[in-house]
Amino acid sequence: MSFKKQLEQRLPHWVEQGWVSADSATRILQDTAAGERHGPRYVALAFSLLGVILIGSGVITFFAANWAAMPKLLKLGVLFSALWGSYVLAGVFERRQLPLLATAMLLLGVILFGSNIMLIAQIYHISAHYPDGVLVWALGGVLTGWLLRSQPAMVAGLGLGVLWTGLESHGFGREVHWPFLLFLAVSVWPVVQLRWRIALHMALAGLLLWSGFAFVAMSGWDYRDSAAIYLVQVYFLAYLALFLAGMLLQGRHGAQALAHTLQRYAAFAALGSLYLLTFPDLLRHARHAHLAWWLVTLAALLLVVALAAWHYRRTAGVMRPPFLNWGLGLLAAALLLLLVNLAAERHLAALLALLFNLLYFAGLLWLLRAAVHLEHRALVNMAFFFFAITLLARYFDTFWSLMDRSLFFMGGGLLLLGGGYWLERQRRRLTQQIAGQREGGA
Amino acid sequence: MTLSGRLLVIVLIQTLVLAGMIAKCQWTLASGTPVVLKTQPIDPRSLFRGDYVTFNYEISRLKLNELEGEDEFRRHDTIYVVLKPGEPYWRAHAVYRAPPPGQLALRGTVQYVADYWWNPQTGASEAMPHINVRYGIEDYFVPEGEGRVLERPVAGEEISLRVAVDRFGNGAIQALLINGVERYRETLF
């Protein structure tokens, strides 16, 4: 239902209650109708961006066709003129109150900056470590986004940053590409300040991708095969800390959407890490804790405790919903179990796996409760997704060797059908509850 | 800061970055010592940008026990390869991690380190500690369609490159030579 139709339905009630005068109601409807006549902004933005991409492609193919025939100085003149021209046009459009075209020109400027880096490298036969060129391009995008308040330019800059770390991690076999975290920290600061949700999605997706690259590199380190266990624990704690940061952000005025985005990615990675710890096969590796792992794990533990304490202090003066206290208990149990797991003997793997499974399912229940309280539908869906895959994993672990194959598959099928139906009903019930809460609060 | 001011900052920074790339190359080309390096074109590619040829220099693979300097290197190390004139090509003389004072050295990055290598003459693997190095002068862009010609030189043709090496170890390609005769030459602007 469109915003105008919703208003048409609700305004008479608001007028009846005396919250809005009849005159104001008419003006609100007129203003909304005028806004809708201009069409949705995103269509215009999509067309502008498409136009920019076509212009960029045209410029590059023009060069490709005529490159050899152009003298070096002319090539450089064309490159610089195109770059300057796009920024000048951005300024002109902004002054003429055409913000979409201005945004499109800024994005064109970012694209041309990158193509100029590549083409100058071609003119001078520069072939040294090309990810550096991608980094410079990414920084150009981030700087443009930040200084000129352009989210598309920032998203482009962040996307290029992700490409940079991908090239460094895979194309050049760097073990762990730490500089990406510095790039991300610098870029995310203006993203949070300016409340840019799409850019935050890009930054967090980049962080998850980098975590995957780093995990592959670090789990192969020669601290024998226990490196993976410690690494998963550190990942769990780090993303738990990020989730807590999202809870803290939730309390800031106007930052709820950003907090939801942050919580979504953090919960996904934290649950994914904890999910790995529910497998006895992983826990069966012998522990050879290098001092560095102890230090890193303790640092991550302290960070989680500090953030939880900060959140507790913030909510101590107000009515604390019960799920927060329940969450503190769960957190204490999780931290204790992680510490025990650092030095546990391998023969305790089955017991540890059982405890991690209990913690994991309790965590999922807590997440569902928190999601309803925070009015976060994505978290509900995520909790059900993890619940379903873990249920299946445990079914395979438990019954694969115990049951006859035909019975196993029939049982699995029934579990999928029955469990899927039940889970979907519960999921719908909770998401409808959240929608109801939102409408009630609106 | 006003909109114009912010736009000016962006334009200035991006222009300075691009101008810096050009200035660095121009400075190396203008002030560097020209050295002629033996090479083999190995990998012409046709991209949308045009053709380019990738060169494998004689100094791209360094046998450590035949060179002076240091012996222990790791992947991604920055190194300085001291070059000495030979007839007709310049050759690697020593290799260090730090720039050697008073000597002409080309800066590169270690791509990999190996203890054995395959000898094409005997067809066998032999113990030979060596490193493979990338200097940033491996790619040479040529007009469309000419990359294939360079890839398959006719019998007796020898391809070499004249490279300018500045005092910081940076290299820039000055000219491509076939049998010692210039085929392509880079000019200042």
Q: Please say whether the beta carbons of B23 and B157 come within 8 A.
A: no
CA distance B72 to chain A (A): 19
Indicate the residue of B7, B18, B138 with minimum beta-carbon distance to A116: B18
**Cα–Cα distance for residue pair A133/A116, rounded to 1 Å:** 10
Tens digit of pLDDT for each residue in A75-98? 888 889 989 999 999 999 988 888
Cross-chain residue pair A84–B15, CB shorter than 8 Å: yes
| Total beta-carbon pairs less than 8 A apart between chain A and chain B | 97
Q: Please say whether the beta carbons of A233 and A277 come within 8 A.
A: yes
**Is residue A392 over pLDDT 70?**
yes
Residue carrying structure tokens 């101008």: B19
Question: In 10 A of CB B124, how many CB atoms?
Answer: 9
Which range has the worst mean pLDDT, A206-215, A388-397, B2-11?
A388-397
What integer pLDDT is reported at residue B47 of this predicted model? 42
Tens digit of pLDDT for each residue in B98-145? 999 989 999 999 988 998 888 777 888 888 889 999 998 888 877 666
Q: Please say whether the beta carbons of B49 and A147 come within 8 A.
A: no
Mutate to test the interface with A, among B141, B168, B185 (most CBs of A within 10 A): B141
Query: Chain B contacts of A123, Cβ < 8 Å?
Result: 141
What integer pLDDT is reported at residue B155 of this predicted model? 65
**Is residue A226 over pLDDT 70?**
no
Q: Is A39 helix (H, G, I), strand (E, B) or coil?
A: coil
What integer pLDDT is reported at residue A222 of this predicted model? 52
A189: which 2 tokens? 């600061």
Long-range contacts of A411-419 (CB under 8 A, 24+ apart): A415/A391, A416/A392, A419/A388, A419/A391
Q: Which residue has the higher pLDDT, A302 or A13?
A: A302
Q: Mean of the pLDDT values across residues A388-405?
A: 73
State the average pLDDT for chain A.
83
Tens digit of pLDDT for each residue in A62-75? 666 666 677 888 88
Tens digit of pLDDT for each residue in A406-435? 666 667 677 777 777 777 777 777 777 777
Indicate the residue of A67, A126, A147 with minimum beta-carbon distance to B9: A147
Cross-chain residue pair A144–B189, CB shorter than 8 Å: no
Residue carrying structure tokens 């121009």: B26
Q: Mean of the pLDDT values across residues A228-252?
A: 89
**Is residue A402 over pLDDT 90?**
no
- Written as one letter, the residue type at B23 is A
Cross-chain residue pair B75–A91, CB shorter than 8 Å: no
**Cα–Cα distance for residue pair A276/A352, rounded to 1 Å:** 12
What integer pLDDT is reported at residue A2 of this predicted model? 62
Backbone angles phi and psi of A31, in degrees to 5: -65, -40
- Phi/psi-derived region of residue B180, left when phi > 0, alpha when psi is between -120 and 50, beta in every other case: left
Dihedral over Cα of A24, A27, A31, A36: its sign: positive
SS3 string of chain A?
Answer: CCHHHHHHHHHHHHHHHCCCCHHHHHHHHHHHHHHHHCCCHHHHHHHHHHHHHHHHHHHHHHHHHHCCCCCHHHHHHHHHHHHHHHHHHHHHHHHCCCHHHHHHHHHHHHHHHHHHHHHHHHHCCCCCCCHHHHHHHHHHHHHHHHHCCCHHHHHHHHHHHHHHHHHHHHHCCCCCCCHHHHHHHHHHHHHHHCCCHHHHHHHHHHHHHHHHHHHHHHCCCCCHHHHHHHHHHHHHHHHHHHHHHHHHHHCCCCCHHHHHHHHHHHHHHHHHHHHHHCCHHHHCCCCCCCHHHHHHHHHHHHHHHHHHHHHHHHHHCCCCCHHHHHHHHHHHHHHHHHHHHHHCCHHHHHHHHHHHHHHHHHHHHHHHHHHHHHCCHHHHHHHHHHHHHHHHHHHHHHHCCCCCHHHHHHHHHHHHHHHHHHHHHHHHHHHHHHHHHHHHHC
**β-strands B159-165, B171-178 pairing:** antiparallel
CA distance A132 to chain B (A): 12
**Is residue A169 over pLDDT 70?**
yes
Mutate to test the interface with A, among B9, B16, B18 (most CBs of A within 10 A): B18
Beta-carbon contacts of B35 under 8 Å, excluding residues fewer than 6 positions away, are B83, B85, B90, B104, B106, B162, B163, B164, B165
pTM confidence score: 0.79
- How far out from the chain centre does Cα B9 lie? 34
Residue carrying structure tokens 């069409």: A39
Residue carrying structure tokens 């998963």: A232
Mutate to test the interface with A, among B2, B6, B8, B11 (most CBs of A within 10 A): B11
- How far out from the chain centre does Cα B130 lie? 18
Cross-chain residue pair B6–A148, CB shorter than 8 Å: yes
Percent share of chain B, pLDDT over 70: 86
What integer pLDDT is reported at residue A403 of this predicted model? 63
pLDDT-derived band of residue A151, with 50, 70 and 90 as boundaries? very high
**Cα–Cα distance for residue pair A261/A374, rounded to 1 Å:** 12
**Is residue A53 over pLDDT 90?**
no
Mutate to test the interface with B, among A125, A149, A172 (most CBs of B within 10 A): A125
**Cα–Cα distance for residue pair B45/B24, rounded to 1 Å:** 26
A157: which 2 tokens? 């800059």
A18: which 2 tokens? 């005396």
Which range has the worst mean pLDDT, A302-316, A393-407, B115-129?
A393-407
Q: Please say whether the beta carbons of A224 and A289 come within 8 A.
A: no
Query: Chain B contacts of A124, Cβ < 8 Å?
Result: 21-22, 25, 172, 186
The helix (H) or strand (E) run that includes residue B39 is: strand B33-41
Query: Nearest-CA residue of chain A relative to B2?
Result: A148
**Cα–Cα distance for residue pair A282/A275, rounded to 1 Å:** 11
Query: Chain A contacts of B186, Cβ < 8 Å?
Result: 124-125
Percent share of chain A, pLDDT over 70: 86
What integer pLDDT is reported at residue A64 of this predicted model? 61
Q: How far is CA A442 from CA A30, A221, A403, in A?
A: 21, 53, 53
**Cα–Cα distance for residue pair A437/A327, rounded to 1 Å:** 22
Tens digit of pLDDT for each residue in A191-217? 998 999 999 999 999 999 999 988 888
**β-strands B68-69, B91-96 pairing:** parallel
**Is residue B149 over pLDDT 70?**
no
Cross-chain residue pair A140–B4, CB shorter than 8 Å: no
What integer pLDDT is reported at residue B46 of this predicted model? 43
Q: Mean of the pLDDT values across residues A210-239?
A: 80
Q: Mean of the pLDDT values across residues A333-344?
A: 86
Query: Nearest-CA residue of chain B relative to A127?
Result: B136
Cis preceding linkage at B143, omega within 30:
no
Q: Please say whether the beta carbons of A203 and A151 come within 8 A.
A: no
Cross-chain residue pair A148–B187, CB shorter than 8 Å: no
**Is residue A35 over pLDDT 50?**
yes
Cross-chain residue pair A144–B25, CB shorter than 8 Å: no
Tens digit of pLDDT for each residue in B157-178? 788 899 999 999 999 999 988 8
Indicate the residue of B22, B75, B137 with minimum beta-carbon distance to A125: B137
Cross-chain residue pair B137–A127, CB shorter than 8 Å: yes
ipTM: 0.83
- Phi/psi-derived region of residue A318, left when phi > 0, alpha when psi is between -120 and 50, beta in every other case: beta
Q: Which residue has the higher pLDDT, A124 or A346?
A: A124
A6: which 2 tokens? 């919703």
Cross-chain residue pair A124–B22, CB shorter than 8 Å: yes
**Cα–Cα distance for residue pair A236/A413, rounded to 1 Å:** 32
B91: which 2 tokens? 């050759």
Beta bridge partners of B63: B130
What integer pLDDT is reported at residue B153 of this predicted model? 62
Query: Chain A contacts of B25, Cβ < 8 Å?
Result: 124, 126
**Is residue A394 over pLDDT 90?**
no
Q: Please say whether the beta carbons of A406 and A348 come within 8 A.
A: no
CA distance B75 to chain A (A): 9
Q: Which residue has the higher pLDDT, A31 or B134?
A: B134
pLDDT-derived band of residue A134, with 50, 70 and 90 as boundaries? very high
pLDDT-derived band of residue A440, with 50, 70 and 90 as boundaries? low
**Is residue A172 over pLDDT 50?**
yes
pLDDT-derived band of residue A150, with 50, 70 and 90 as boundaries? very high
**Is residue B48 over pLDDT 50?**
no
- How far out from the chain centre does Cα B141 lie? 13
